[in-house]
């Protein structure tokens, strides 16, 4: 039976009659796949599904090269298959980075062959998915020569699942797909999740939320404590995870866990979790041994420490090096890594300043198998932030780039907001404009570095809550694989696989996707560097969806005289955390990029910007422009009625209606809020005044 959820970009619709279909059929009806390893089972299954769908006939899968055919597909390593060995240079294949692969065409005993090869099984999985992607986008494959290697060695999903509670933190797509209580029983959906991830090169999943204890839980509330994620380190749960880990392993995906820094006390009943205590050291080492006995290819631990109610080394008068290294020593004999998050709180009132102050002095002190995982910006996944000043300034530390796939602050998957252009802006940013040319994307290519995407797929039929949000999961992974891909390339791939290759549909969907992020920035921030103006509420995880600017004067720096925050040499010195050239650029309102102006500067409401408009008028105009643009995108979407399937068309159309309305709520609340302080009317009379 067809599962009752969407295939996302793995639709494999049948190729219509014509030369292309003939060519695909000739080369791919017969597939010879090496037998050897567990991943190859996944390859065979995917070929059956993908080729079966696209060719309109079941492929014939061979265990030896077929001889009486016009052409065939061969998938295997040169060592496994002569057909492959004679088609490629074996040394070149052996030299590929882990996960790399080659797709090429050749001839074997007079028969045309299409060859997918690699030196590792995971490379064969990725290569197979690449081939299927080409066919789904209706690209010719009769004469290809593709060499691919992943840019980032670790391409992770931080799956913020709340085990035992059935929920996802910041997931906007329904309940959790993982049912930890029922493990080791596996659901078909787990396999399809693994397929989706492997198809775009993800090689690690952290199964649970970084908040491994419920923030704000009262001491002694045992019922709630039973439901906390740190329990996954208990033997009874570790044993249950083995089946899930094996399933992911078939797709080249390693399993990781978020762990609680207080685990020695919570799980182990020790009196302390002090990282400098020898019993604690021993406890972590034994726990790591136990984990690796059960899951030999376990990836490692992710830790959120000293942040938002999670314990950390500060509880024990130790620092983050002590904290990370004790776990690192435990994992080291097994080849595991610690991913240690830099999202910490400390003495600074302005969170922006905290991270660099905490971590930069520790450069060079982390153990070899520690990766410090840093959010792209210094605040918290806002629609646009400057890059974290940590990037480029901790040369002796392996860093990981944390991006939020899920749309916590970008409309929570009611709004369409395509994050790929935002991430491209981050990745292309030059951390050292004085000429050494170190872009953010260059920082995550060495062993020990990587990317971590905070993703929130859930039980919803469409996995991501909004059909168009599937593109963020897709795009994140593609960028982790190859950050040089352009937004246009990624969108094109995704749209064609997701909505088909009709040029009008591709053009319209692409244009809509590219319009979403700038519109969200405009109506939810005013477009010149303000951020963090959402409604929070009093309860943990309350909202972050509606506007609530009055809650955050410390972030916006709003006064009667002006708006913006002096994160510069006149103020809290944040701009000075960057290398000199960047610090100078940000420090002067004249050279500070306009889109970040109010992040770095408190300016009078009537301060004139380059085009002669005042700060307050620019804010009003952008808020209105953002809503108008959203209306336009909605109208564009409506033109697709009948051009794509009705279910997805209707879903997105309805979401756009909600988005337009809610964008208007943001515009009205923010413009009124600015007016309340500035008391300068909108030149166009749109913002209600006192009279």
Distance, in Å, from the CA atom of 166 to the CA atom of 162, rounded to the nearest integer, reads 6
CB contact at 8 A, 547 and 535: yes
Give 210 or 405: the residue with its C-beta nearer to ligand GCU. 210
CB of 356 to ligand GCU, least distance (A): 17
The candidate with the shortest Cα–Cα distance to 330, out of 293, 297, 284, 369, is 284
Helix crossing, 38-55 with 188-199: angle to 10°? Answer: 80
**Chain-centroid distance, C-alpha 403:** 5
99: left (phi over 0), alpha (psi -120 to 50) or beta: left
The candidate with the shortest Cα–Cα distance to 328, out of 272, 378, 386, 288, is 288
CB of 538 to ligand GCU, least distance (A): 14
Distance, in Å, from the CA atom of 412 to the CA atom of 433, rounded to the nearest integer, reads 35
CB of 551 to ligand GCU, least distance (A): 14
The DSSP secondary structure of 527-563, one letter per residue, reads: SSS----B---SSTT--SSSB-GGG-HHHH---SSEE
The torsion defined by the Cα of 669, 672, 677 and 678, in degrees rounded to 10, comes to 130
Give 152 or 158: the residue with its C-beta nearer to ligand GCU. 158
Distance, in Å, from the CA atom of 246 to the CA atom of 233, rounded to the nearest integer, reads 18
Give 343 or 637: the residue with its C-beta nearer to ligand GCU. 343
Give 359 or 586: the residue with its C-beta nearer to ligand GCU. 359
Just list the catalytic residues: 308, 380, 408
What letter would DSSP give residue 501?
A: -
For residue 497, give both structure tokens.
Answer: 């696989």
176 backbone dihedrals φ, ψ, rounded to 5°: -65, 145
What letter would DSSP give residue 460?
A: S
Give 23 or 158: the residue with its C-beta nearer to ligand GCU. 158
* 3-class DSSP state of 114: strand
Q: What are the residues binding ligand GCU (CB under 6 A)?
A: 169-170, 210-211, 304, 308, 343, 380, 408
Distance, in Å, from the CA atom of 469 to the CA atom of 475, rounded to the nearest integer, reads 10
Close Cβ partners of 219 (under 8 Å, ≥ 6 residues apart) = none
405: left (phi over 0), alpha (psi -120 to 50) or beta: alpha
């Amino acid at each position: 039976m067809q599962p009752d959820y969407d295939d996302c970009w793995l639709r494999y619709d049948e190729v219509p009659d014509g030369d292309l279909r003939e060519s695909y059929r000739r080369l791919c009806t017969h597939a010879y796949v090496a037998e050897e390893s567990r991943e190859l089972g996944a390859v065979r299954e995917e070929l059956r599904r993908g080729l079966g769908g696209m060719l309109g006939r079941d492929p014939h899968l061979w265990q030896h090269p077929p001889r009486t055919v016009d052409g065939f597909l061969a998938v295997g390593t040169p060592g496994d298959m002569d057909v492959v060995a004679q088609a490629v240079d074996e040394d070149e294949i052996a030299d590929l980075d882990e996960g790399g692969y080659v797709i090429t065409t050749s001839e074997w005993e007079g028969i045309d062959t299409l060859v997918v090869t690699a030196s590792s099984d995971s490379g064969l999985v990725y290569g197979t998915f690449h081939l299927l992607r080409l066919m789904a986008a209706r690209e010719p494959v009769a004469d290809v020569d593709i060499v691919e290697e992943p840019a980032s060695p670790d391409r992770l999903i931080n799956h913020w699942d709340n085990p035992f509670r059935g929920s996802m933190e910041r997931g906007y797509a329904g309940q959790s797909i993982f049912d930890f209580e029922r493990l080791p029983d596996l659901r078909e959906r787990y396999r399809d999740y693994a397929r989706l991830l492997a198809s775009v090169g993800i090689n690690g999943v952290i199964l649970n939320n970084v908040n491994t204890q419920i923030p704000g839980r009262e001491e002694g509330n045992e019922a709630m404590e039973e439901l906390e994620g740190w329990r996954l380190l208990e033997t009874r749960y570790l044993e249950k995870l083995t089946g899930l880990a094996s399933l992911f392993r078939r797709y080249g995906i390693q399993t990781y866990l978020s762990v609680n820094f207080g685990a020695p006390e919570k799980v182990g009943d020790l009196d302390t979790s002090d990282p400098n205590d020898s019993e604690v050291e021993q406890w972590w080492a034994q726990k790591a041994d136990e984990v690796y006995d059960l899951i030999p290819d376990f990836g490692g631990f992710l830790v959120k420490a000293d942040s938002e109610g999670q314990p950390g080394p500060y509880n024990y008068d130790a620092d983050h090096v002590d904290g990370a290294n004790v776990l690192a020593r435990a994992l080291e004999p097994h080849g595991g890594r610690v991913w240690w998050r830099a999202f910490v709180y400390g003495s600074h009132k302005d969170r922006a300043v905290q991270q660099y102050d905490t971590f930069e002095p520790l450069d060079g002190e982390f153990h070899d198998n520690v990766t410090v995982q840093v959010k792209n910006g210094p605040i918290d996944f806002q629609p646009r932030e400057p890059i974290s000043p940590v990037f480029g300034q901790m040369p002796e530390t392996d860093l990981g780039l944390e991006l939020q796939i899920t749309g916590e602050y970008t409309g929570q998957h009611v709004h369409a907001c395509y994050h790929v252009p935002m991430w491209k802006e981050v990745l292309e940013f030059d951390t050292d404009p004085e000429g050494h040319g170190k872009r953010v994307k260059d920082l995550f290519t060495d062993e020990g570095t990587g990317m971590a995407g905070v993703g929130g797929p859930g039980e919803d039929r469409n996995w991501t809550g909004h059909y168009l949000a599937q593109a963020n999961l897709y795009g994140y992974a593609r960028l982790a694989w190859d950050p040089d891909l352009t937004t246009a390339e990624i969108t094109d791939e995704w749209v064609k696989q997701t909505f088909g290759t009709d040029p009008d549909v591709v053009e319209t969907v692409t244009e809509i996707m590219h319009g979403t992020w700038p519109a969200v920035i405009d109506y939810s921030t005013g477009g010149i560097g303000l951020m963090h103006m959402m409604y929070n509420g009093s309860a943990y995880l309350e909202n972050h969806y509606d506007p609530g600017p009055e809650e955050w004067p410390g972030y916006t720096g709003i006064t009667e005289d002006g708006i913006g925050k002096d994160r510069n040499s006149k103020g809290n010195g944040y701009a000075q955390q960057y290398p000199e050239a960047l610090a100078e650029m940000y420090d002067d309102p004249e050279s500070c990029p306009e889109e970040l102006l109010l992040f770095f500067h408190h300016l009078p409401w009537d301060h004139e910007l380059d085009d002669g408009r005042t700060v307050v008028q620019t804010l009003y105009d952008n808020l209105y422009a953002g809503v108008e643009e959203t209306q336009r995108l909605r109208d564009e979407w409506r033109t697709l009625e009948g051009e794509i399937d009705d279910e997805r068309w209707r879903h997105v159309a309805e979401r756009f209606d909600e988005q337009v309305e809610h964008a208007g709520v943001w515009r009205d609340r923010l413009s009124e809020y600015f007016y309340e302080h500035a008391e300068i009317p909108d030149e166009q009379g749109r913002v209600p005044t006192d009279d």
